[in-house]
Structure 1
Amino acid sequence: MEELARQAGITVRTLRFYRERKLIAPPRREGRIAWYDDRHLARLRTIAALLERGHTLNGIAELAEAFDHGRDVGDLLGVGEPSEETPVRLTPEELADRFAGEVTAENLAAAMDMGYLGADGDAIVHISRRLLDVSAALVREGIPLAEVLDAAHRVRRHAESLAELFADLVGRHACEQELHRLRPLAKSAVEAELSLALDRRLRANPKGD
């Protein structure tokens, strides 16, 4: 414990307090000896970084609980599944920086439930760089992250319906293996229709009232 506290730059008393608050996992014990490892040190450094960013210990404890009970990154990404999306590996403090003031236990749990975030040791993996960048940009524009996640949930329902429609279309007129090759056509059609829908919306309300 003394060695871990020294490497983390905190006192043993502070370390004991973090253990009592369950901010770090219990050590591995061999008889009367308690062994800490790099994960404990990483968690302590994350706590320090989040405190510097204005998070409270209560908030950090809630984040830690949501993070520890989130799905594993293997469940998130699957094995051998095709995807055009690029996962992004983040530290908890990098995630906090991207969504300043919006990374709450509720938002973290919601993102994990939707399969956007997964845990990989003391790191976080987001399933899609594009979705991560878009959601962060919307938050920077003043839209609360909770509302961004709610909108994403509704968008997903429509996206699933569109994917099923295109898969059925291809399945009726081509073999199922053609779906992967023809997916750019589906994406182009959806993007064009969304662009036209936004055009109609802007023409109907040009001042954005």
Structure 2
Amino acid sequence: MPTEEHDDPGRGREYRIGELAEAADIPVRTLRYYQERKLLPPPRRAGRIGLYSEDHLARLRMIANLLERGHTLEGIRELLAAWEQGQDIRTVLGVENAVTTPWSNEVPVTMTLDELTTLFGPESLERAIAHGHIEVDGDRVTHWSRRQLDATVTLVRAGLPLEDVLSAGRELQRSMDDLAAMFVRLIAAHAVGRIDNQGQNGLGELTEALARLRPAAQVTVEAGFARAMDRQVRAAIDQALSHLAS
């Protein structure tokens, strides 16, 4: 609990270092480390006693929240520095959310080794591992995408060799990597650059731009692939019909 004798109506509650650590639910040594890393401002001095404010406690809670979200201490220090320079940390975190929110909504699926063998045969495990589709944990395996697994099963049951399906998937992933890199370059060149020129307003615009770009990029790829499949299927049918007619 805060030290009541140090409460000042003008300042609000104040805490000694042990009290602040207890309120923030962290060890004192962690609190001292944050101070050394310039993540926490120094306390107000009352003689030899350091007194911390509610602002210190709020800052510690913010640090804990950012750590839970996967930020490094150095990244947190930079965020807090931006906040201290007048930028709204909610805007900064909005950009971070827009950038780091997963683009994939795929749901992994876990099964036993026997179940995987039943689906694809005894050589399926080694092939799937080699192609990076599954992870093995004891006698269970996890495929990164239920939809992708279902699609693979459908293609194999339709008569396509598993090795050919996996190879096609690997080639498709290479193409997807190239497309993703192209969109990242576009975003970096035309959206991220706004930060330098517009400051706080640029951050807000960047967040909105990223929110718009996410579905737009996905639709562009899906529509482009569907159109390409239409062209390729028609070409294959025309070729097959020409052979029948000859």
TM-score range, shorter chain: 0.5 to 0.7
Task: For 1:134 and 1:194, locate their aligned partners in 2 and report how far apart those are by CA, in whole Å.
Answer: 16
Q: Post-superposition shift, 1:202?
A: 2.6
3-state SS in 1 of match to 2:237: coil
Shift of 1:111: 1.6
Whether the aligned pair in 2 keeps the contact of 1:202 and 1:208 (CA below 8 Å) is no
The answer (yes or no) to whether the contact 2:133–2:144 under 8 Å persists in 1 is yes
Partner of 2:150: 133
| Runs of 4+ residues deviating >4 angstroms | 176-181
Match of 1:186, SS state, is helix
1:115, 1:127 within 8 Å by CA — same for their partners in 2? no
The aligned counterpart of 1:199 is: 230
Aligned to 1:122: 139
Task: Please name the residue that 2:118 is paired with.
Answer: 97
Which stretch shows the higher mean deviation, 112-121 or 143-152? 112-121
The 1:180–1:116 alpha-carbon spacing in structure 2 relative to 1, beyond 3 Å, is farther
Distance 1:115 1:204 in 2: 32
In the aligned structure 1, how far is the partner of 2:227 from the partner of 2:143?
30
Q: What amino acid maps onto 2:223 in structure 1? A: A
1:2-57 Cα distance to aligned partner (Å, 9 max, x none):
xxxxxxxxxxxxxxxxxxxxxxxxxxxxxxxxxxxxxxxxxxxxxxxxxxxxxxxx
Looking at secondary structure, tell me which structure has more helix per residue.
2
Q: Distance in 1 between matches of 2:239 and 2:225?
A: 18
Q: Tell me, yes or no, if structure 1 residue 144 matches structure 2 residue 175.
A: no
Note closer, same or farther for the CA distance 1:183–1:208 as it changes in structure 2 (3 Å cut): farther
Unaligned runs of 5+ in 1: 1-78
Match in the other structure for 2:125: 108
CA shift, 1:109, in A, is 2.3
What SS does the aligned partner of 1:124 have? Answer: strand
> Contact between 2:116 and 2:125, CA under 8 Å: does it hold in 1?
no
* Greater relative CO, 1 or 2 (CA 8 Å, sep 6+): 1
- The yes-or-no answer on 1:88 pairing with 2:105 is no
Deviation of 1:113 (Å): 2.8
Per the TM alignment, residue 207 of structure 1 is displaced from its structure 2 partner at its CA by 5.7
Structure 2 residue runs without a partner (length 5+): 1-68, 71-99, 193-205, 241-246
The number of aligned residues is 127
Rate the CA distance shift 1:140–1:179 in 2: closer, same or farther, 3 A.
farther
| TM-score w.r.t. length of structure 2 | 0.46
- Alpha-carbon displacement from aligned partner over 1:89-119 (angstroms, at most 9, x marks no partner): 11112212322xx340xx4223213321001
Q: Deviations over 1:160-190 (max 9, x none)?
A: 0001011111111213866576332212111
Separation of aligned partners in 1, 2:217 and 2:137: 33
